[in-house]
Amino acid sequence: MDNTLTQNLNVNQLDAVMHKDGPALIIAGPGSGKTRVITSRIAWLIINEKIPIQEIAALTFTNKAANEMKNRIFHMLDIPPIKFLPNIGTFHSFCAYLIRENHNILNLDKNFAIYDSYDQTAVIKRTLDELNLDNKLYKPRVVLSIISGAKSKIQNPETYQKNISTAYAKNIYEIYKIYQQKLIQSNALDFDDLLMKTFEMLNSNQEISNLYQEKYKYLLIDEFQDTNLIQYSIAKLIANKTNNIFVVGDPDQSIYSWRNADITNILNFKSDYNKSKIIYLNKNYRSSQNIIDASQAIISENATNYSRQITAINEKGNLIISIESYDENEEAEIISKEINNIISSDKIQLKDIAIMYRTNAQSRAFEHYLSSLQIPYQLVGGTRFYQRQEIKDIIAYLRLTLNLNDDTSLLRIINIPTRGIGKSTIDKIILYANKSNISILDAATILSDVDEDNEISKILSNGPKKHVRSFLNLITDINNKSQTFSVEEIITYIIDKTNYKNYLLSSLTNPEERLENIEELISSINNFESEGGENKINLFLESVSLINDVDNLNDEQDKLTLITLHQSKGLEFDSVFLTGLEDGTLPHVLSFDSENEMEEERRLMYVGITRAKRRLYLSRVFKRGGWGKSELKEPSRFLFDIPNELIVGHQVNIHKEVKNNIIKKKESKIENNLPSLTAGNKVKHPHFGKGIIIQIEDSKDDFELTIAFDENKGIKKFLYTMSGIVKL
């Protein structure tokens, strides 16, 4: 067997890599080589078991992880990179591939669109309008997260309906139903549908499931602790024949439960595959002993602490440096200067350093100071490139060249740039489309027809009709050209014909920057590598929806990384600055009144600490600006759990009482405010019975609760202290 493959593995890792057939569960702490094991195992299967790479499905959490895995495998095998390898990727991209391959069976056109959260919100808003529901009561964000929750538990509208009782939930069901109809009408899928459709297809179509069960002889899943029920169910279906399912995860690094990731998948795995081999890896190769000691001190405080002790193979190393600054500006200033110091005194480069934080908004101060000190950085996350207004506009035009039923894209640009099609015209078109169950484009075509003379033809008057017709001609023209043009030519044509530049310059802020963004869009399409051919736009648009910001992190350029703790999962840096370690920032305020969420915040801190190889900085401020006002902050409760002897600098007072006071203060604040009620809670009213809180508003010395009651008792408002409401 090939040395290079095995020489860098310890005994347990080897055991996992060379595991024979059958299920295996690898539970392992941070930096213990989980990713290395998965990668080596794939190479081992290919080299020793002679399994073709196309017959191994390896699913990761991010595209970046998948790409790194692929590159390392190509390197290990010493073969040139294979460009199209959809069987190694994220769950979502893998599912998108399976769906594309079988679009006929699913009654989808092959050029289906994938809707991102903006598109989803637009569909929900239209749905609410159609159902005449108030979007203050049914907030699109909330509705979408309920729908997404249902989908990740494999509930379609009908199965969702079976488990509900409140009037509020019944309306959610109505919304869910219409929302799905609109997606179908638009030949579009949302993120969760990629999983739903794949599950349905594998679950109900024997022929298809046989096909893939035979094709994918080995299935490997990374970051298993952050998979949800539907993902695990898809995995079980694929591995149904061979039982060759190999999952790797760390329950203590589970940080996506708010996105329905479900740690019980790990427990269920043990019972679903009771013959499963279980391997624990407990040596940390990444970090210094001090860093690991601090991480263990943090995580061991969790009541549901899954971890086995991990031990660092590295030396004690540097002490952890603790910094308290006055406010976020000083924090950014001190850290920026410190970064300048360490890159000039130490041998490390900017790309070995990361600044991490809980919320994207915290990056602002850093960006400001880093620019002023001319320290190059790459910001991960935030407003993503493909979500910018001008980019979404162009993408909407592009999507229409593939899919004229894409109502959301059509409505997005029907009056962009403004072309005399105003709200009332659009409303009439939408109404007619809804009534007749046809696409917006078809409705617009019918309503703008001049030759007819009947009721329908009177819906729009002549002025608007003319504008709509010229818009439709524009779309037809672009689509005709798209048959023969290259992608770059199509975009140029769109910009040209719509006078988009003019619109940017006259109507939007920062037109120069936006023009540059469009240039960048064109060049990223040109660089886009795929099987090529006619599929190019299609695959490009798919990647636009599925590819994330971290995926573009590159370490070829020597730049500092600014990143959220969530996105840092799986990465490693020589030096890490964990910032904003205040109670209210990390742990975030919104997790104060939930034990589970508080534990997840702690895991987030744990993930952050364990990203660092040699240097770790823990930074907090005394005062942090929120929106408009600024607040005094106390050190994060987590800081008190790290032994003093591991730390130099501005230490927190280690006395447990201080920590307890901080926690108590927060708790009593919540109590004075409200009995930890939030929207979505189930409550009981002495007179009206059970219901769900849909809104809480401040009201002098009291709180006004808006509650939706079961059955047909409707929606009512109460003052909290007068209502006799109790939480269920």
Ligand X SMILES: Nc1ncnc2c1ncn2[C@@H]1O[C@H](COP(=O)(O)OP(=O)(O)OP(=O)(O)O)[C@@H](O)[C@H]1O
* Positions that interact with DNA (CB under 7 A): 61-62, 90-92, 116-117, 125, 136, 139, 141, 191-192, 258-259, 358-361, 381, 415, 418-425, 463-464, 507, 546, 548-550, 564, 566-567, 588, 590-591, 597, 627-628
Question: Is 222 a catalytic site residue?
Answer: yes
Annotated catalytic residue: which of 151, 569, 611, 614?
611
Please tell me whether residue 19 binds ligand X under the rule CB under 6 A.
no
Terminal C-alpha separation, the chain: 61
Which CB, 40 or 186, lies closer to ligand X?
A: 40
Q: Which of 28, 76, 188, 196 binds ligand X (CB under 6 A)?
A: 28
User: What is the per-residue DSSP string for 138-175?
Assistant: S-HHHHHHHHHHHHHTT--HHHHHHT--BHHHHHHHHH
| Residue type present at position 4 | T
State the nearest-atom distance from the C-beta of 338 to ligand X, in Å: 24
Backbone angles phi, psi at 76, to 5 degrees: -60, -40
Which CB, 310 or 546, lies closer to DNA?
A: 546
Question: Is 223 a catalytic site residue?
Answer: yes
Backbone angles phi, psi at 621, to 5 degrees: -120, 165
Q: Which of 2, 4, 10, 655 binds ligand X (CB under 6 A)?
A: 10
| Whether the Cβ atoms of residue 553 and residue 357 lie closer than 8 Å to each other | no
User: What per-residue string of b and e applies to 573-591 under the rule 16 or more CB within 10 Å gives b?
Assistant: bbbbbbbbbbbbbbbbeeb
With contacts defined by CB under 6 A, name the span among 3-11, 346-354, 368-376, 663-671 that binds ligand X: 3-11
State the nearest-atom distance from the C-beta of 449 to DNA, in Å: 17
SS3 at position 468: helix
Question: Is 227 a catalytic site residue?
Answer: no
Which CB, 546 or 683, lies closer to DNA?
A: 546
Q: Which of 250, 324, 333, 542 binds ligand X (CB under 6 A)?
A: 250
Which CB, 405 or 610, lies closer to ligand X?
A: 610
Q: Which of 19, 36, 70, 614 binds ligand X (CB under 6 A)?
A: 36
| Distance between CA atoms of residues 472 and 229, nearest Å | 44
With contacts defined by CB under 6 A, name the span among 7-15, 56-64, 67-75, 398-406 that binds ligand X: 7-15
User: What per-residue string of b and e applies to 169-201 under the rule 16 or more CB within 10 Å gives b?
Assistant: bbbbbbbbbbbbebbebbbbbbbbbbbbbbbeb
State the nearest-atom distance from the C-beta of 300 to ligand X, in Å: 17
Please tell me whether residue 35 binds ligand X under the rule CB under 6 A.
yes
Which CB, 24 or 692, lies closer to ligand X?
A: 24
State the nearest-atom distance from the C-beta of 66 to ligand X, in Å: 14
How are beta strands 689-699 and 245-249 bridged, if at all? unpaired
Among residues 258, 131, 255, the alpha carbon closest in space to that of 680 is found at 258
Question: Is 35 a catalytic site residue?
Answer: yes
Annotated catalytic residue: which of 116, 222, 250, 710?
222
| Residue type present at position 396 | A
Omega into 643 within 30° of 0, i.e. cis?
Answer: no
Please tell me whether residue 13 binds ligand X under the rule CB under 6 A.
yes
State the nearest-atom distance from the C-beta of 344 to DNA, in Å: 31
Residue 659: contacted member of ligand X, DNA, none (CB under 5 to 8 Å, by partner type):
none
State the nearest-atom distance from the C-beta of 88 to ligand X, in Å: 16
Q: Give 78: exposed, middle or buried? Use CB within 10 Å, 0-12, 13-18, 19+.
A: exposed
State the nearest-atom distance from the C-beta of 226 to ligand X, in Å: 11
Which CB, 280 or 385, lies closer to DNA?
A: 385
With contacts defined by CB under 6 A, name the span among 23-31, 66-74, 264-272, 682-690 that binds ligand X: 23-31
Taking CA atoms, 637 is separated from 329, 330, 607, in Å, by 22, 22, 16
Annotated catalytic residue: which of 116, 192, 193, 223?
223
User: What is the per-residue DSSP string for 311-338?
Assistant: EESS---SPEEEEEEEEHHHHHHHHHHH
Among residues 391, 645, 410, 384, the alpha carbon closest in space to that of 521 is found at 391
Please tell me whether residue 32 binds ligand X under the rule CB under 6 A.
yes
Please tell me whether residue 40 binds ligand X under the rule CB under 6 A.
no
Question: Is 34 a catalytic site residue?
Answer: yes
Catalytic residues: 34-35, 222-223, 253, 611
Q: Which residues bind ligand X (CB under 6 A)?
A: 8-10, 13, 28, 30-36, 250, 253, 285-286, 570, 572, 610
